[in-house]
Structure formats: structure tokens, C-alpha cells
């Protein structure tokens, strides 16, 4: 999901507040204190200046993965992976690439012993794609196709099956100033590039979220001029090829979609943000696919201001969105309802827990620390 929120770290580093953490056993009780949201303690590596979580996925009520990175002065960024065992979150050993800055942006799991995390590895002046795989015992770097560019990044991943994993992002190409969409696929043996279209006359094309099934997959992002971006980008996989699908036509400066979630072939949600030209404030964007076309779904009240970073949906209702500043909202079938969240900071991803009434959200908060919150229905 991703990931416009690195800049939020600057704000978080300058602020601190008290949290109201809860014990992990508390929210499983009949009288749950996590309605709607409560903080669950999450560890932070020692001897770092800051750490944050940017992606989360749950396999079951007793198994979830969260990924992100750590920051230390005069040292490269390092990967951060944490796991929920039904009782608490713990840090897992995760690989890094020598002197390179390595950051993880998203994670998705097929099973408890088959999970993928994606991001980037930076060794100046080059930025390359990064993919890690969990086989039930260790996280390992898995080679991704060389792009032949100075900059390439995977920003989101959707693990549909053991032999069907998609990752999306962007790349630049030698001798060009344009930014192009990048889509890669895991077939159970290796990663390969899959052709992805760029809208005509657009010089900046970037995919930031992906979700769907084997022959019905959506990817969303931004397209337009380098700065400011002025069009949402929506692409669809029909089992054979990717194609650009028209989205709602409204022009805003700094307009983009950051995530997409699907619950059925006729039900998909995409979220993001734009900058209002009059007030110069961030405002949320929500788009909905009904099986025929994408339409704009207005937000109102406290859900209107800010940046939606991630969306999660198991069915047509409820649907959850989270973002920055620290915020959450739920779709009740007819409108968006704002939900109070404790703490300060931002959310960067949200994930429902299969076969349960629990939803996880992760991000950064409390000065320099990871943030994990849980919602119980």
C-alpha cells in the first residue's frame, strides 16, 4: 500500500505524546476495549533513531506479519519485520544488502510459511527493486529482474497463491526523464517482468497498490506530469494482459491513489488523496468499482481531510480505510463513518484478519516508534 507517508516521519520525530496500550489478551475478551481501535504494543529495535511499519497482512487470528524499516544517523536504512503470534509482536531476523539502504514497503502472505515482502535497495546513485520471501524458517532475498534503470521500486505486493504473486511499482529508464509503471510476477520459480501500459502523454506513471484474483486483478497509482500529478491511474489484469481502465474524470493538483482492495469481481475500492487548490489542504479520495465502471465516492466531515493510505475489504460492507494524520473510517454500506483512534502519528496500512472480527493497522507514532492498532467489531 504506500506510501506517501515518509514525509510524515519528520512530523512524528518532532512530536511525542502518551499512548494507552492494551495487553494482547484484552481485545479477545467479550467486553473488548478495542471497539473501535486500541493500541497493541510493538517492539522497536535498540540503538536506532526511528522505526516505522508500512505494511501488514494477517494469516489468522494468531499469525500476522508487519514490515517497514529503521533509521539510524550516519547508517543505511535497515529492513524491519515483525510477527504476531496471537499473544505479542516480536521482531524477526531480516536480511539487508550490505551498505545499501534497504526498506520494505508492503507484505502479503499466502500461508504461515509462504509470505512476500517488497521494497527497494539503494546504493547511490542506483535504486533497485527488493523482494524477500518467508519459507517458514527464514526470510531470504529473492532475485528480481534487472530493470536496466537507475531507479526502480516495488511498492505493493499481492500474494494470490504459491505460484501467483504480483508486485507493482515504478522505474526510470536510461536516457529518459519519464517515470514508467513496473509490474512483476512470481510463478512459483522466479520473478519476471510483465508488460504494463503507460497512459499517453503522461511523463510520470507509478503504481502504488495491487489486489485481486488470478484473472481479475487491479493496480492503482498516479499518472500525469512529474509534479504536480494530476490524474489517477487504474490498470486491470484479465488473465492475459494489463490495460488502462478509465477512472473518474476530475482534475486536481497532487492527485493520486495509494491502495486498492477487492472483495468480488463487481466490488473494488481504491483510496488516495489530493491537494485542494483553494484551501491548500490534503483531502481524501475514494473510488469504487461496481463491475461496470469506477465512480467517485464522496467523503465528509473528519473523513474528508487528510490522506487515505490504505483500504481493506472482505465484503462490500464494512470496508476500512486508514491514513494520515492518524485516522480511520469505515464504510457502512451507504456512507463513511469516522472512527476515533488513540495516539498520534499516521497509519500506512490496514489488514483484516481472516475468520475473525479483527482488523490490524500499522504505521508510525510516539516520536520515533512503530505503531500497531487493532479494531474489533
Segment 103-155, tens digit of pLDDT: 999 999 999 999 999 999 988 778 999 999 999 999 999 999 977 778 999 99
Number of domains the chain is built from: 1
Cβ–Cβ under 8 Å, residues 187 and 204: no
Q: What is the DSSP string of 290-341?
A: -SS-EEE----GGGTBSEEEEEEESSSS-EEEEEETTEEEEE-SSSEEEE--
- What range does the domain containing 178 cover? 5-376
Average of per-residue pLDDT values in the chain: 87
**What backbone phi and psi angles, to 5 degrees, belong to 36?**
-90, -35
59 grid coordinates: 494469516
Cβ–Cβ under 8 Å, residues 2 and 322: no
- pLDDT on residue 227: 62
Q: Which of 13, 36, 51 is nearest to 363 (CA)?
A: 51
Q: Is the peptide bond before 316 cis (omega within 30 degrees of 0)?
A: no
* pLDDT one-digit tens code per residue, 229-255: 578 899 999 999 999 999 887 656 678
* pLDDT one-digit tens code per residue, 252-302: 667 899 999 999 999 999 999 988 878 888 999 999 999 999 999 988 777
β-pairing, 152-161 vs 139-141, is unpaired
Whether residue 198 has pLDDT greater than 90: yes
Measured CA to CA, the distance from residue 327 to residue 309 in angstroms comes to 10
Q: Which of 23, 89, 61 is nearest to 371 (CA)?
A: 89
* pLDDT one-digit tens code per residue, 15-63: 333 333 444 333 443 345 566 899 999 999 999 999 999 999 999 999 9
Cβ–Cβ under 8 Å, residues 373 and 33: no
**Cα dihedral value 340, 9, 306, 260, nearest 10:** -90
Instruction: Residue 219: give its domain's CATH number.
Output: 2.130.10.10
Task: Read off the pLDDT of each residue in 324-349 and give the average, rounded to a whole number.
Answer: 92
Whether residue 3 has pLDDT greater than 50: no
Cβ–Cβ under 8 Å, residues 212 and 262: yes
- pLDDT on residue 29: 35
Amino acid at each position: 500500500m504506500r506510501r506517501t507517508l515518509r514525509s510524515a516521519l519528520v512530523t512524528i520525530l518532532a512530536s511525542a505524546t502518551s499512548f494507552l496500550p492494551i495487553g494482547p489478551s484484552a481485545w479477545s475478551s467479550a467486553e473488548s476495549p478495542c471497539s473501535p481501535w486500541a493500541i497493541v504494543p510493538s517492539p522497536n529495535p535498540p540503538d536506532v533513531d526511528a522505526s516505522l511499519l508500512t505494511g501488514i497482512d494477517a494469516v489468522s487470528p494468531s499469525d500476522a506479519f508487519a514490515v517497514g524499516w529503521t533509521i539510524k544517523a550516519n547508517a543505511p536504512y535497515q529492513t524491519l519485520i515483525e510477527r504476531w503470534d496471537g499473544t505479542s509482536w516480536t521482531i524477526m531476523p531480516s536480511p539487508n544488502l550490505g551498505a545499501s539502504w534497504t526498506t520494505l514497503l508492503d507484505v502479503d502472505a499466502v500461508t504461515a510459511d509462504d509470505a512476500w515482502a517488497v521494497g527497494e535497495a539503494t546504493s547511490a546513485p542506483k535504486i533497485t527493486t527488493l523482494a524477500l520471501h518467508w519459507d517458514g524458517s527464514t526470510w531470504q532475498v529473492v532475485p528480481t529482474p534487472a530493470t536496466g534503470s537507475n531507479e526502480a521500486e516495488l511498492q505493493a505486493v499481492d500474494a494470490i497463491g504459491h505460484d501467483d504473486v504480483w508486485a507493482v511499482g515504478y522505474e526510470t529508464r536510461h536516457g529518459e526523464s519519464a517515470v514508467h509503471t513496473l509490474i512483476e510476477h512470481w510463478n512459483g520459480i522466479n520473478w519476471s517482468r510483465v508488460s504494463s501500459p503507460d497512459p499517453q502523454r503522461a511523463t510520470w506513471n507509478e503504481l502504488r497498490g495491487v489486489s485481486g484474483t488470478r484473472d481479475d486483478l487491479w493496480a492503482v497509482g498516479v499518472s500525469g506530469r512529474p509534479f504536480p500529478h494530476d490524474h489517477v491511474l487504474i490498470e486491470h489484469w484479465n488473465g492475459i494482459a494489463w490495460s488502462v481502465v478509465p477512472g473518474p474524470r476530475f482534475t486536481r493538483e497532487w492527485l493520486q491513489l495509494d491502495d486498492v482492495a477487492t472483495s468480488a469481481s463487481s466490488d473494488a475500492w481504491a483510496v488516495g488523496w489530493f491537494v485542494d487548490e483553494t484551501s491548500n489542504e490534503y483531502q481524501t479520495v475514494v473510488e469504487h468499482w461496481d463491475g461496470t465502471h469506477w465512480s467517485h465516492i464522496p467523503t465528509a466531515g473528519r473523513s474528508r481531510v487528510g490522506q487515505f493510505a490504505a483500504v481493506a475489504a472482505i465484503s462490500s460492507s464494512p470496508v476500512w480505510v486508514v491514513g494520515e494524520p492518524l485516522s480511520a473510517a469505515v464504510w457502512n454500506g451507504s456512507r463513511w463513518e469516522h472512527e476515533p483512534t488513540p495516539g498520534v502519528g499516521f497509519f500506512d496500512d490496514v489488514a483484516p484478519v481472516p475468520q475473525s472480527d479483527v482488523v490490524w493497522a500499522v504505521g508510525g507514532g510516539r516520536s520515533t516508534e512503530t505503531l500497531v492498532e487493532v479494531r474489533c467489531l
